[in-house]
Amino acid sequence: LTVADIMIRDPPTIRGCATIRAAAATMIEREVNHLPVLHADGTLCGIVTSWDIAKAVAGEHTMLDEIMTKNVLSVSADATLRDAAKILDKYHISALPVVGQGKVVGMLTSEQLSHIAERR
């Protein structure tokens, strides 16, 4: 199995110039904990998670680019699930944007990985 088999396709995303409030609203509306942050041209520039929103609430931040993680790790759709799981485990993160030809084509989360583990 590869990342393409279980990733969330066309995931919700947000622009880096958005407010933290807008990111929080998108997460609630789309029921996700992770949002890839995109440049104007659609390329990946970061990731924001519900953990980062908690950090923002605890601190004094307004704009998303103050709290998002800028050196975001990503995978390609043809990566194996084992390789993706290794990255999640090694870096203590729970989601990876899936990138193809410079654009975000999906999201792989530890939630998806645990669903697949349960089915097998």
Of 95, 98, 99, 107, the one binding ligand SAM by CB under 6 A: 95
* Ranges within 60-79 binding ligand SAM (CB under 6 A): 69, 72-73
Residue 16 per-residue DSSP state = T
Q: Whose CA is closest to 112, among 37, 42, 11?
A: 11
Span of 9-17, 20-28, 44-52, 78-86 interacting with ligand SAM by CB under 6 A: 44-52
Nearest approach, Cβ of 119 to ligand SAM (angstroms)?
22
Can you tell me which residue has the tokens 């104007």? 40
Q: Whose CA is closest to 102, among 74, 65, 68?
A: 74
How far is C-alpha 8 from the geometric centre of its chain's CA atoms? Answer: 10
Q: Counting contacts by CB under 6 A, is residue 92 touching ligand SAM?
A: yes
Q: Which residues bind ligand SAM (CB under 6 A)?
A: 47, 49, 51-52, 69, 72-73, 92-96
